[in-house]
Amino acid sequence: MGQNFFDNEIVFRGYCELRDSDSNCNILMEQPEMAQLLPELKGQCVLDLGCGFGHNCIEFIRRGAAHVTGIDISKKMLTVAQRENSHPDIEYINMSMTDIDRINGCFDLVYSSLAFHYIEDMPKLMADIARLLKKGGILLFSQEHPIYTASENGQGHYLFDELGNKSGFCFSHYQVPGERTDEWFIKGRKYYHRRFSDIANAIAWAGLCIQNVAEPVPDENMITKRPKSDAVHNPLFLIIKAVKL
Amino acid sequence: MGQNFFDNEIVFRGYCELRDSDSNCNILMEQPEMAQLLPELKGQCVLDLGCGFGHNCIEFIRRGAAHVTGIDISKKMLTVAQRENSHPDIEYINMSMTDIDRINGCFDLVYSSLAFHYIEDMPKLMADIARLLKKGGILLFSQEHPIYTASENGQGHYLFDELGNKSGFCFSHYQVPGERTDEWFIKGRKYYHRRFSDIANAIAWAGLCIQNVAEPVPDENMITKRPKSDAVHNPLFLIIKAVKL
């Protein structure tokens, strides 16, 4: 059972406001890159792990997917998804992605946006996903970047030059994978640091082959909304596309 | 043509001394991990890119390799290799690894220790390597870690706590791939920063599939020779093993 962080009332309200802001990092960096890496979806079966409000599930249907299964551990999220993004070919299931070994099915695409860093056992998750994918099927996921998740004891911070511009990033404990906590709306958000090698090995050992990796920076058109210097030094997101051999 | 940095007399002498020291990072971290990831070599044909003194070439023969081709841009290095590590089944060639598209052959293993960060065009290098590998053949290489190569203007440095122990690492310009220079025996060592994504994509686009990634820390037995804190925060090496599909 994964942590049900998003059903906390303060987190849920804070997250709703953040998602409504048009200068948040997801919209500026993560979503455009994920959209670019999406395979052709016409007639395809899709599993969305940590589907949240169902924005991506409904987008997959718009792109021609035959069926979408969206799972999320948060009941509050799925209530919004059912209300705002329902469709006859979308099935929302309240379930932790640590339990997807209970799902039967065969998917062309397993998709997950910014949720895997909440899961402790990545080798098991990857093995479960590989079992659910057709041969030639695609896993496309984003997560917080290993450099960003590394630091213990709040040692992750930017350096600033004399003009107040970001000039670098400091971090610690990159080589010590494991649980981390920080403050995000409330104290005690729990997530897991994994090195690039831990992530790549979990993917490879499950029989998936990495096709594409992205560490997005904001699109030039979007930089007016957020200074580029935010993204030059420290990558925030890691995006990986892999195929089942 | 790649840079011939190691034929500089000061660099060459400094490097010889460093290689003779038993607490250098190569011996503590890079070499044990590379050895662990070596495939079975009995009867195999091996190409060693940037073979230097030929230590690995002669080791491949000891492990049963049928033939080893070692190439290096440095004539001084190859003079030592010919003198100290010659063998009827080893051929040393004075050549930049930017020119391996001139080699004909079909290899079971392409190996390279700590040399790829000197090469500007990694997609071309990976395509050349893929062409030289048999189907099912292995590429095993190490290079300086992307976090370590990132910084411009000397902004890469450790943080220290009040006891003088390393407590973190600061870097800059991770998201800006390209040429870097630093001082290593002489001013003006030139190398190339690439992000994880740049490296992984060059491998994938060449038709190779990543099997294993390592970011080594010193072996427990070796830590007496070098404080573990050196390696906890900032990984120095990135090692990747990939197979030609």
pLDDT of the residue at B128: 98
Beta strand extents in A7-82 (DSSP E only): 45-49, 67-72
Quick check: B161 contacting A, CB < 8 Å?
no
- Report d(CA B32, CA B237) in Å as an integer: 12
Which domains are seen in chain B, by residue range?
5-244 (3.40.50.150)
**B168:A155 CB<8 A:** yes
Query: Which residues from chain A sit within 8 angstroms of residue B196, using beta carbons?
Result: 196, 213, 215, 238
pTM: predicted TM-score of the whole model, two decimal places: 0.92
Quick check: A178 contacting B, CB < 8 Å?
no
Distance of CA A28 to the CA centre of its chain: 14
User: What residues does B192 pair with on adjacent strands?
Assistant: B179
pLDDT digit string, tens, across residues A80-111: 999 999 999 999 999 999 999 999 889 999 99
Query: Which residues from chain B sit within 8 angstroms of residue A157, using beta carbons?
Result: none
For chain A positions 10-69, those within 8 Å of chain B (CB to CB) are: none
pLDDT of the residue at B25: 75
CA–CA–CA angle B217, B223, B225 (5° rounding): 125
Query: Which residues from chain A sit within 8 angstroms of residue B217, using beta carbons?
Result: 175
pLDDT of the residue at A25: 75
Name the band, by pLDDT with cuts 50, 70 and 90, for residue B141: very high
* Contact residues for B13 (Cβ-Cβ < 8 A; gap 6+): none
pLDDT digit string, tens, across residues A43-80: 999 999 999 999 999 999 999 999 999 999 999 999 99
Q: Which long-range contacts (CB under 8 A, 24 or more apart) does A36-39 make?
A: A37/A140, A37/A212, A37/A214, A37/A239, A37/A241, A38/A63, A38/A109, A38/A111, A38/A140, A39/A108, A39/A109, A39/A138, A39/A140
Among candidate residues A19, A5, A24, A33, the one with its CA nearest the CA of residue A238: A33
**Is the confidence at residue B85, as pLDDT, over 80?**
yes
Residue type, B53: F
3-state secondary structure of B22: coil
Radius of gyration of chain B, Cα coordinates, nearest whole angstrom: 18
- Report d(CA A151, CA A123) in Å as an integer: 22
ipTM surpasses cut 0.85: yes
**Is the confidence at residue A159, as pLDDT, over 70?**
yes
Name the band, by pLDDT with cuts 50, 70 and 90, for residue A29: confident
For chain B, report the end-to-end CA distance as a whole number of angstroms. 29
3-state secondary structure of B233: coil
**B51 DSSP assignment:** -
pLDDT of the residue at A70: 98
**How many CB pairs below 8 Å do chains A and B form together?**
112
Nearest chain A CA: its distance from B87 CA (Å): 36
